[in-house]
């Protein structure tokens, strides 16, 4: 199927149908994401962050506490 035809068909969907389709696409990507290699720069960045974590150079934050603090600022 050509991309233009697919886009035209998507444009005819209702908002709810588009949301369902978008979720299905993301789910499909998630199932296949193990096959996507990380770019070299991302691998280096992750290795650097992990090294800092192992050395105790990072200040870690509890997700729930951070979320609560952000909600209080609104």
HSE-CB for 25 with a 13 A CA cutoff: 7
Q: What is the mean pLDDT of the chain?
A: 93
Number of domains in the chain: 1
> Domain for residue 74, yes or no?
no
> Domain for residue 61, yes or no?
no
The lowest-confidence range among 7-21, 26-40, 50-64 is 26-40
List the domain range (segments joined by +) for residue 43. Answer: 3-55
pLDDT at 33 > cutoff 90? no
For 58, the 3-state DSSP assignment is coil
> What confidence tier does 3 reach under pLDDT thresholds 50, 70, 90?
very high
> Domain for residue 33, yes or no?
yes
**CA 68 distance to own-chain centroid:** 22
> Domain for residue 66, yes or no?
no
pLDDT at residue 74 in the model: 83
> Domain for residue 11, yes or no?
yes
In the chain, what is the straight-line distance between the N-terminal and C-terminal CA atoms, in Å? 46
């Amino acid at each position: 199927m050509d991309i233009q035809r697919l886009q035209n068909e998507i444009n005819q969907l209702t908002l709810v149908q588009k949301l369902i389709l978008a979720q299905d696409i993301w789910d499909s990507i998630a199932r296949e994401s193990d096959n996507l290699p990380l770019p070299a720069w991302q691998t280096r960045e992750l290795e650097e962050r992990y090294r800092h974590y192992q050395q105790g150079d990072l200040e870690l934050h509890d997700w729930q506490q951070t979320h609560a603090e952000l909600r209080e600022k609104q």
